[in-house]
Structure 1
């Protein structure tokens, strides 16, 4: 490796860089920058970013149960089945016990570290799919810098998402080789990573099956490849049977079916692809998203339908997380457009981008670097800074510890933050974990209990959050869905959050609901801090 880097540095002093030099440089840059922007938010926050409270509790549950799968998680006192794929929890619990690290620190750091390995896995997969080392390297850089890929899998809840993404990418790699090449050990590698995918994340299972089936249809369609796929699938099912067999025995198929009904399917859901901001989540100019879109269009024009078709398959399979997984296709298309269209326009590279002719001129490299690198770095730095603010700060953790120490264990809270998106409400998710009390308005874990009513819960949860600024009449009307037997109302007066980022628009006045409850005889103030007011319901 050192010799390769040395040779590359020597070539950089020449007029032109070879394609291999450029590819190596791009991959190294992708890993370094991608890793930094996946770990930087956790460094800034000093606590897990956004979500992860339920997973923190599940790691502790596993440790308390001596690494035997519990029937239920203690999170939120709702008897949520411990049916979530457990691989990441086992890895986190083992690291925590062996290195004597708090599970909170595991949830803080491990997602970003695992997500960094996704960058390298993506390069090897892209090299197979695109059949060009240089295009794959360019796609890897795009993959590494897309904000939605760097933040969503690196947040606290990315503990399982990052493992699922990593093993899904590797399964796709070896499934592609299985269907298109005759390499001896690829069936076993597909079985290994397919099994790890099943044990990592529910949605990754669905995407992996869909993408691998699509690969067979587009690249093979032979009986032998079909039978190989069936045999590999059966082997994966056999390898993971001890886990899902135990879950089916304990909780029945209904529990797994319940979680499968929360994928966001509707007639219109695939149209989310038209909103580029929801895909790459770039704070300013959607430069990487534009590269992806132009790449998709170019591939279609050239009748190279594999990558565009994979994007469509991803959105049809699971719209709920397609804006994350779909970036795989966008990065591939963006790398293709960069190396097949933009680079030839700026230099005399010729047609064979993966081989012999002249390489990429120094002038071209300078032009691209001067105009794009500062923007992309500023873009990612700003995005990391913004998402790092979405965490439970020290005062918030102090407030929750007070609740744990000064309220009955069976207390039931309406936790109101003003944030309609339950997936980006860090306070709401971490409240059951740190306060160890029931939050009636926390959405995490409900997918295992509510099935197709999950979206109904999410809608009511969003409605009751609006009550912070509307007053008591709103609370009385919306709280009925969650039950009239709540004991406390926990109101956050901190700045609101939008799209998992603080909006930097502090509330100008005391929330209307706080004023209304202060004047109502049926409520009394139990606790007040800088950003929280807790009311006890007295009648």
Structure 2
């Protein structure tokens, strides 16, 4: 039987689904489950972030399941609720129906949906590669691919993994529609495209571009063009209620503005043709980041093998898969998509080309070589995928894969912030913990690029640069300067005291950064645990003072905020309430791996003494420093400031 992937052969194929398919589907499901287990065993909290997604879901639930206009917390003005709503509404339903907290959902749901995505991956591979063994190998390679795991197994997979599942299912329907020219797949393809549009814009773009290429490569007839038009038009009609709501609340320009961020469609190709960032584009494989030397070597070896596999596939089967790879790579340049196609051509070359190279004309020998090569490649891929999911691979020098944006110290600190600060308190949060902070505390951060895509590329770039620069400040003086030059005036600073991530890359602050902040008249340490310090900002200082680690923040004069990180009521009552009620008004179950009692609210803050009498030349006096370290009634633990 011929395959759709062979454009020079008839397209009549055996596509019957039988019990045999379950046998060949099992390796992919087993590989995905093993990788998922490796991730769960090493991540007591989810990797990366999904706070904005859960904030959207909470806004939907709080608005009676009507689309809210904005989502509070992410910048002073909030962000428009213009995100595709399907997965967001699903999260809201899960939240309201089960009461399971966001951190638990973000840890478990992505892996479950990613495992489900193995099923359409297998059948798509079978349709394109013809044989079940090839499809089984391609499925294992895809399910354990690091770029696929990075975006779908991590916290953001609560939205991206369902989008990926819909995309793969839709691509299978499109292959059957254009490859078999079987119009019974027209409406499934249309519905799946509409659902993908309603789930994630990037995956919808990948769906549309793939369908366009499949039509060109497999069909090319006038009737096929009509079918493609129905798929596109019908999908947009299905998504029209959401599009109409966005247009009414924010204008369709909001969607266009978001499309111009993150490089946009074809942005990488334009940069390459214009000569911009050529080195970073050509010498960093899709989805690899900067990489460690060893990691880059592995990726380049993999890339060389894939190029050889594409050359072989092009010679033996025509341009369908190589051309598809180029279309997606040139327009989107996302590893999670190109690795899918790379896995298919690698499986074909391994099962067909490698045995020809080593097995000669002996049919039995060629079959043995094919089986051995497939087993070695599959086992290696599962091992690499498991190590990547477990955080044992360095994606950057000194940086583990699948990093956690927050740890137990962050959860404890955010719980305290939610329980003890005024609802309108504003924060600047250093590091990627800022992505979770507004949701887990129900407080506003003034520096945030998450969700700001909907305000346009310029604002997104400004906020992204601000958040990155202030998060990578090595000293207290740098933090002060960044706040001053951007006229950002929070009530509190949330400052990690140990290593944390900035855009997924580990950053290690210099010792004494918090002490330098406390030494300035404008700042007062009000909370500290093993990994986080919260510093109150006094807006009543001299606005003309120079910006330095030992002076006030130059800014326009403001009235004292009156906000303080201190709850009402006796300490014991607050501690009990904090543990019982969880983070803010949300009911949070304790993440797995955290010991009972490890989160608690500290004692109340003692009113700070007059700064003028307690400092000398901008440095804390011995009396002040001693009280910050040891006074039991001060909301600061006994850990030294110089960390």
Please report the TM-score for the alignment, with normalisation by the length of structure 2: 0.71
Aligned residue in 2 for 1:268: 271
Equivalents in 2 of 1:479, 1:276: separation in Å? 36
Aligned residue in 2 for 1:422: none
Say which one has the larger Rg.
Answer: 2
Change (3 A) 1:105 1:310: same
Task: Output the aligned Cα RMSD.
Answer: 3.0
2:348 to 336, 341, 348: 336
Does the Cα contact within 8 Å between 1:135 and 1:336 map onto a contact in 2? yes
Q: Report the secondary structure of 1:327's partner residue.
A: helix
Query: Larger relative contact order (C-alpha < 8 A, sep ≥ 6)?
Result: 1
Change (3 A) 1:259 1:480: farther
Change (3 A) 1:275 1:211: same
Equivalents in 1 of 2:39, 2:258: separation in Å? 29
What is the Cα deviation at residue 480 of structure 1? Answer: 4.2
Change (3 A) 1:302 1:455: farther
Aligned 1:307-326 pairs, distance under 5 A: 307-319=321-333, 322-326=334-338
Q: Deviations over 1:432-480 (max 9, x none)?
A: 111222222332111112334423332332222221x1440x3344224
What is the Cα deviation at residue 143 of structure 1? Answer: 0.5
Does the Cα contact within 8 Å between 1:273 and 1:315 map onto a contact in 2? no
Aligned residue in 2 for 1:12: none
Change (3 A) 1:316 1:341: same
Aligned residue in 1 for 2:493: 489
Q: Deviations over 1:311-369 (max 9, x none)?
A: 221133234xx12222122112211221122233454687xxxxxx6597557645764
Aligned residue in 2 for 1:46: 44
Equivalents in 2 of 1:501, 1:466: separation in Å? 11
Aligned residue in 1 for 2:63: 65
Does the Cα contact within 8 Å between 1:49 and 1:155 map onto a contact in 2? yes
Q: Report the secondary structure of 2:463's partner residue.
A: helix
Q: Report the secondary structure of 1:441's partner residue.
A: coil
Q: Which runs of 5+ in 1 are unaligned?
A: 1-19, 351-356, 418-424
Does the Cα contact within 8 Å between 1:55 and 1:107 map onto a contact in 2? no
Change (3 A) 1:160 1:253: same
Q: Report the secondary structure of 1:112's partner residue.
A: helix
2:443 to 425, 437, 440: 437
Change (3 A) 1:196 1:358: farther
Change (3 A) 1:526 1:100: closer
Q: Report the secondary structure of 2:287's partner residue.
A: helix
What is the Cα deviation at residue 403 of structure 1? Answer: 1.4
Change (3 A) 1:99 1:341: same
Aligned residue in 2 for 1:459: 465
Q: Report the secondary structure of 1:185's partner residue.
A: helix
Change (3 A) 1:26 1:470: farther
Aligned 1:138-537 pairs, distance under 5 A: 138-264=137-263, 265-266=267-268, 267-268=270-271, 272=281, 274-276=283-285, 278-279=287-288, 284=295, 285-286=298-299, 289-300=303-314, 304-319=318-333, 322-347=334-359, 358=364, 361=367, 365-366=371-372, 369=375, 372=377, 375-386=380-391, 387=401, 389-417=403-431, 425=432, 427-467=433-473, 469-472=474-477, 474-480=478-484, 482-497=486-501, 500=504, 510-511=511-512, 513-537=513-537
Aligned residue in 2 for 1:101: 100
Matched residue pairs, number?
497
Q: Report the secondary structure of 2:154's partner residue.
A: coil
Change (3 A) 1:401 1:533: same
Greater helix fraction, Structure 1 or Structure 2: 1
Equivalents in 1 of 2:377, 2:466: separation in Å? 43
Q: Report the secondary structure of 1:390's partner residue.
A: coil
Change (3 A) 1:269 1:196: farther
Change (3 A) 1:532 1:499: closer
Does the Cα contact within 8 Å between 1:295 and 1:337 map onto a contact in 2? yes
More displaced, 217-226 or 295-304?
295-304
Equivalents in 2 of 1:520, 1:304: separation in Å? 68
Please report the TM-score for the alignment, with normalisation by the length of structure 1: 0.83
Q: Deviations over 1:267-288 (max 9, x none)?
A: 3269636423735989843365
Aligned residue in 1 for 2:601: none
Q: Which runs of 5+ in 2 are unaligned?
A: 1-17, 392-400, 542-643
Does the Cα contact within 8 Å between 1:414 and 1:489 map onto a contact in 2? yes
Q: Deviations over 1:136-183 (max 9, x none)?
A: 222111101111212311211111111111111222221222223232
Change (3 A) 1:499 1:471: closer
